[in-house]
Structure 1
């Protein structure tokens, strides 16, 4: 992928080990409270997208990509460690997993970084003919209490179609689909949701019916996916406009 630039920001694919180490260091700040780099074996089979300030060269955001030829390969994904994705093994188009998305905590232009990230992702999707984008969207911490409205909204409006719905695999989960029928406060629900998850939902995305309690990364996460054909045309035009 050629670099994608917008304003002061540029997104590019890693050029080698030094870029991967920089990505892992930023992820360590975001996911491990700066106690060390965040790294795993999945890094070795992914491409890493770096989002940098063009004026300073400072890394301000990143994510990793894993391209799958179809759902037959879904077991190779990071998400498959936590979710039973056997239903998606029947998916017959190319898929791409977007993982470990994070933004440096000390930068102000989060919306611009997220927009450029999705623009870069759109270029990958178009070039590879991808039919589905998926990943894990993380809520900070493992206490469900601050996110009750968010989970209620996901339960009521954004559950995966039954034909693709992930099943429970992880030992610790929060089954929000089984909770009471309380009506969520929409403002509180959206405010508490991670920006990446809000983006998925705005594109017509859907989620698993439970959240995984990830003590290692101190997060609650839901499996999240969007079928490219479901993205509203106006939204798709805006994403493609980012990359020119």
Structure 2
């Protein structure tokens, strides 16, 4: 079903800091990175598109999922922070919708490359997980943080997820990314409410020593919450959020410990995806299309 997003006479304005031009680069300059039917994926071209993506994030994280709102967010109805100007914003558009292009955004991902994060003081996820040693152990790899993933409810389908992954593959191919990382979230602020799923992750999906990451001191919560013998694998996997299951399917591993994020009312785990360890069928499936658009 195609649903028209709310109409707005004025183009939305993102913060002035978004006009740095830091990530408007020759690769993409708004060219399509992938297409599936009426869905097109590309990077944001301008301030209005970033602001529209922030509005989509607000609708999902705050209106739908109940994240804690500041007065500014209530007035502005955007999910925005100081990392937004540093990131590339991957957007999925429904090209069948009418109205201005920035009003056709139905899904988004935020992409932060290692060299930009390092120059600005670190990745977003370093507020929850210790990444310094991980990065130091892999000096020849380029890291990419994936964050703020969301899709409007009526577009939560396989096609939309595939469009986002087409865009991600084109992006990592262009920049020579070796490792994708980021936080993935369980709803609520009580790890015990997800005891079976978290315990399964702790025992069967943990990073090995080369890729190990631990939650920061003072925020660490154990994921090993029940006897592993009592865990039903099928039930544990079924209880995981779709994003976590999706990452696991492509070969992701999970760090040590989870963190309670009270602003977003979530329990966060850390995801590590070395590109060379991603399953061949996913590389072939997404990579072929990505190479065509990135060429």
TM-score higher than 0.5 here?
A: yes
Task: Name the CA shift for 1:70/1:13 in 2 (closer, same or farther; >3 Å).
Answer: closer
**RMSD over aligned Cα atoms:** 2.2
Q: Does 1:98 align with 2:128?
A: no
TM normalised by structure 2 equals 0.76
In the alignment, what sits opposite 1:197?
244
Equivalent pair of 2:106/2:155 in contact (CA under 8 Å): no
* C-alpha deviation, 1:187, in angstroms: 2.6
In the alignment, what sits opposite 2:277?
230
Task: Name the CA shift for 1:50/1:79 in 2 (closer, same or farther; >3 Å).
Answer: same
Equivalent pair of 1:71/1:88 in contact (CA under 8 Å): no
Equivalent pair of 2:142/2:179 in contact (CA under 8 Å): yes
Mapping of residues 79-94 of structure 1, within 5 Å: 79-90=125-136, 91-92=138-139, 93-94=141-142
- Measure the CA separation in 2 of the matches of 1:45 and 1:74: 8
- Show structure 2 runs of 5+ residues with no match: 1-27, 65-73
Task: Name the CA shift for 1:204/1:175 in 2 (closer, same or farther; >3 Å).
Answer: same
Q: Does 1:62 align with 2:108?
A: yes
Match of 1:6 among 18, 36, 56: 36
Q: Greater CA deviation, 165-174 or 15-24?
A: 165-174
In the alignment, what sits opposite 1:21?
51
* C-alpha deviation, 1:242, in angstroms: 4.2
Mapping of residues 165-180 of structure 1, within 5 Å: 165-169=212-216, 171-177=218-224, 179-180=226-227
Q: How many residues align?
A: 243
How far does the alpha carbon of each residue in 1:100-130 deviate from its partner, in whole angstroms, 9 at most, with x for none?
Answer: 001112x144221111111110111111111
- Measure the CA separation in 2 of the matches of 1:99 and 1:112: 20
Larger Rg: 2
Q: Greater CA deviation, 13-22 or 186-195?
A: 186-195
* C-alpha deviation, 1:55, in angstroms: 0.3
How far does the alpha carbon of each residue in 1:141-175 deviate from its partner, in whole angstroms, 9 at most, with x for none?
Answer: 21334422211221121111223322231644421
Task: Name the CA shift for 1:157/1:207 in 2 (closer, same or farther; >3 Å).
Answer: same
Name the structure where strand makes up a greater proportion of residues: 1
TM normalised by structure 1 equals 0.90
Q: Does 1:132 align with 2:162?
A: no
- Measure the CA separation in 2 of the matches of 1:176 and 1:49: 31
* C-alpha deviation, 1:97, in angstroms: 0.8
- Measure the CA separation in 2 of the matches of 1:136 and 1:186: 22
Equivalent pair of 1:85/1:166 in contact (CA under 8 Å): yes
Equivalent pair of 1:94/1:129 in contact (CA under 8 Å): yes
Q: Does 1:38 align with 2:79?
A: yes
Task: Name the CA shift for 1:100/1:213 in 2 (closer, same or farther; >3 Å).
Answer: same
- Measure the CA separation in 2 of the matches of 1:153 and 1:74: 35
